[in-house]
Amino acid sequence: MMNLRDCFPSLCSSGETRYNKDKILQGQGVDEPLSATGFKQADAAGLFLSNVKFTHVFSSDLLRAKQTAATIIGKNKFCKDLEIKYDARLRERKYGVAEGRPLTDLKAMAKAAGEQCPAFTPSGGETLDEVRERAKDFFEFLCQLAVEVEQKEREMHGAASRSSGTSEEQSVFPWTNHCSQPGLSSDNGGTSKILDANILVVSHGAYMRNWIGYFVSDLKCTLPENLTKSQLSSVSPNTGVSHFIIELQSGSRLEPEIRCVCLNQDSHLVDVGAECVAQKVF
């Protein structure tokens, strides 16, 4: 089997809307824009990621995610003009009749049904398994994308030139300054090696929690040593960033090996103010 070079997806949840602040469920049916605080959060995330040279950007097609993605890329040193591709598979979990209602209503519905959040599915909503299937489908698409990029590079430049190639401008990953494990091995103090696919994905809190759950339970993702169970099961704060390293092999099927470098990182919000680090309401 041929080893493929690493794929680096960075997952970022959308910024705050007024519904987040008021603890009202949005799901898919309430398509609110970012609040003033949400734009500040997106600006801060953009500065945090400004030295990362992304090769691809994908976003949920809901407005709050689209605005977050555009703000982040607008502050990037390398890829201000990179096309953002919108994908309905990245939408927040659908909450059916609970959308547009306070989170307390969802909890009351769950209690009346003898269930607990987040496992409870309100009428017209998506089950956790359905959300996970969307996440799995999109992740398999990303893996195939990385394979195709690698194949095109081989055709254009050849394996030898790729392995020895250099770039005048190197993107810098901020993870090592904030996370328990180093993000990338390099010979240049945190600067990146040339990548096949370095992907920014902007989505939503409940969706991302399900995606990460799929990584851990189904694909045996390696986690940072100091990560607690409560941190693993928590919803990302607005514009929280998670970063993964994925090593792919090609053959009859893709066999990804996944390592989580950091989960729900929000250090970029420290200078924005305490109000901007509030937990997300989906």
Q: What is the pLDDT of residues 173-192, one digit of tens each?
A: 786 554 544 444 433 333 33
Is residue 165 assigned to a domain? Answer: no
Q: What pLDDT is stored for residue 7 in this prediction?
A: 77
What residue ranges of the chain have pLDDT lower than 50?
1-4, 159-168, 178, 180-195, 252, 274
Q: Which residues contact 253 (CB under 8 A, 6 or more apart)?
A: none
- Known binding residue 94? Answer is yes
The total number of structural domains in the chain stands at 1
Is residue 271 assigned to a domain? Answer: no
- Known binding residue 130? Answer is no
Is residue 232 assigned to a domain? Answer: yes
Q: Which residues contact 188 (CB under 8 A, 6 or more apart)?
A: 170
Q: What pLDDT is stored for residue 161 in this prediction?
A: 46
Is residue 114 assigned to a domain? Answer: no
Q: What pLDDT is stored for residue 216 in this prediction?
A: 95
Is residue 166 assigned to a domain? Answer: no
Is residue 64 assigned to a domain? Answer: yes
pTM for this one?
0.87
- Known binding residue 101? Answer is no
- Known binding residue 86? Answer is no
Give the chain's radius of gyration (CA, Å). Answer: 19
Is residue 217 assigned to a domain? Answer: yes
- Known binding residue 95? Answer is yes
CATH of the domain at 75: 3.40.50.1240
Q: What pLDDT is stored for residue 179 in this prediction?
A: 52
Q: What pLDDT is stored for residue 181 in this prediction?
A: 45
* Residue 41: closest CA among 75, 9, 8: 75
Phi, psi dihedrals of residue 32, rounded to the nearest 5°: -80, 145
Q: Which domain holds residue 245?
A: 4-18+34-93+127-155+195-265
Q: What pLDDT is stored for residue 187 in this prediction?
A: 38
Is residue 169 assigned to a domain? Answer: no
